[in-house]
Amino acid sequence: MNNQRKKHVRTRFLNVLLFMGIFTCVFAVASSVELLPEEREQLTDEITQKLETAKTNSDSSFIFLNNAVLGLMMFIPMGVGLLLGFGSAFATGLIVGGFELGFPAFLLLYLTPFGFMELVAYSLALSRSFTLTVVLIKRRNTIKAELKPTLIELGLVISLLFFAGIIENIMLGIGV
């Protein structure tokens, strides 16, 4: 591997780590927001009801499809993907924080296998969105040059979210 390629790989890796950190911070801030008791109850009731419906209907695709749509939208450049991704982190943080777990909610991103897989997938998508935005603004490369790596990363994100969904379904008792 030549030096330029090594530098590119290192930069991509650092970008993913950066977006993991930002996603975690947004999630953590949202999970620490103090909601009114009725707001917290409404949020937790809604998500509990959706999960119970998925269990009742044996809808094991619910979690994967929800996460895949979000993950794919995060690839959109020019700030749209970043806005959707961080909005998703905030909304999920609010919901998880509403359950009053007794420990910092953001730890779920690192302590559960599906949480970490989702975090990596979303961070990969967000960093690619950022990279595509830079390419579009600077016009230093044609967007065509970014097609292959973007498709590879799309495949990685979908694969990570697919397997994370299976693990999450099993852990939540929805089944596979």
DSSP-assigned letters across all residues of 10-28: HHHHHHHHHHHHHHHHHHH
Interatomic CA distance for residues 33 and 41, integer angstroms? 14
At which residue do the structure tokens 């603004």 appear? 137
Q: Scanning the structure block, which residue is given the tokens 């419906």?
A: 53
Please report the pLDDT score of residue 176 as a whole number.
Answer: 62
The confidence score (pLDDT) of residue 52 equals: 83
pLDDT at 1: 74
pLDDT at site 175: 67
Crossing angle, helix 61-73 and helix 113-138, to 10 degrees? 20
What CA–CA distance (Å, rounded) separates 31 from 82? 19
* DSSP secondary structure letters along 49-75: HHHHHHHHTT-THHHHHHHHHHHHHTT
Taking 70 as the pLDDT cut, the residues of the chain under it are 140-141, 175-176
List pLDDT tens digits, range 57-101.
777 788 999 999 999 999 999 999 999 999 999 999 999 998 888
Please report the pLDDT score of residue 17 as a whole number: 98
Q: What is the DSSP string of 78-147?
A: TTHHHHHHHHHHHHHHHHHHTT--SS-GGGHHHHSHHHHHHHHHHHHHHHHHHHHHHHHHH-SS-GGGGH
Q: Which residue in 143, 123, 92 sits closest to 12, CA to CA?
A: 123
Helix axes 3-31, 80-97, angle to 10 degrees: 40
Kindly state the tokens that stand for 57. 């209907």
pLDDT of residue 48: 85
Given this model, what pLDDT does residue 167 score? 93
What backbone torsions phi and psi does residue 165 show, to the nearest 5 degrees?
A: -65, -40
